[in-house]
Amino acid sequence: MDVNRVKQIISSPADIKVSYQGTSVWIDKLEADGKTATVHLRGPLEERSQVSIDELVEE
């Protein structure tokens, strides 16, 4: 996913489905480096991880 699409998804009020390595995630924020984002799993677990935006896929 490119950096502009990550920004659009973060600012959108819509529920846009995104996955990371086959798992559905929420994007919390784009990191300052512009190459990674903080995400957490959809559902009751809210463990956050930093991942490469290249590995995020819009469903």
Which tokens belong to 35? 């190459």
Q: How many domains does the chain have?
A: 1
- CATH number of the domain where residue 12 is located: 2.30.30
Lookup result for tokens 């469903």: 59
pLDDT of residue 57: 98
Tell me how far apart the alpha carbons of residues 33 and 10 are, in angstroms, rounded to a whole number: 16
Cβ atoms 39, 49 nearer than 8 A: yes
pLDDT of residue 32: 96
> Against a cut of 0.85, is the pTM above it?
yes
Tell me how far apart the alpha carbons of residues 11 and 4 are, in angstroms, rounded to a whole number: 11
pLDDT of residue 46: 74
Q: What is the pLDDT of residues 11-51, one digit of tens each?
A: 999 999 999 999 999 999 999 999 999 999 887 777 899 99
* Residue range of the domain that includes 40: 3-58
